Amino acid sequence: MLASYKQVELVILGFRQAFRALWVAQFPEIYSDVPTHVINSSYPFSEYQQLSHHIANLIVGYADTYV
C-alpha cells in the first residue's frame, strides 16, 4: 500500500533539507549565515549520491501514479 500524498510530501521535504545541508556543508563560502551545525557536519559529500539512490528506491512505486 502506498502512503498518502501528504506523507510523501513531508518525506520529500525532509530529504530536501538533508540535500541542502550536504550541499551547503560542501560549499559554505557561497552562503551567508550558515549554521555551525551544518558547517561542522560529519557527513561527506558522497552521502549526497547515496541519499539520492535511497530516495529513488523509496519513490519508485509512485512513478505510475503521477498524473
Q: How many domains does the chain have?
A: 1
Which residues span the domain enclosing 32?
5-65
Amino acid 38: pLDDT: 78
Reported as a single tens digit per residue, the pLDDT across 4-52 is 778 878 888 888 888 888 788 888 888 888 888 877 877 777 777 777 7
Distance CA 60, CA 17 (A): 20
What's the predicted TM-score (pTM) here? 0.57
Amino acid 8: pLDDT: 77
Distance CA 20, CA 48 (A): 9
Q: Which residue has the higher pLDDT, 12 or 66?
A: 12
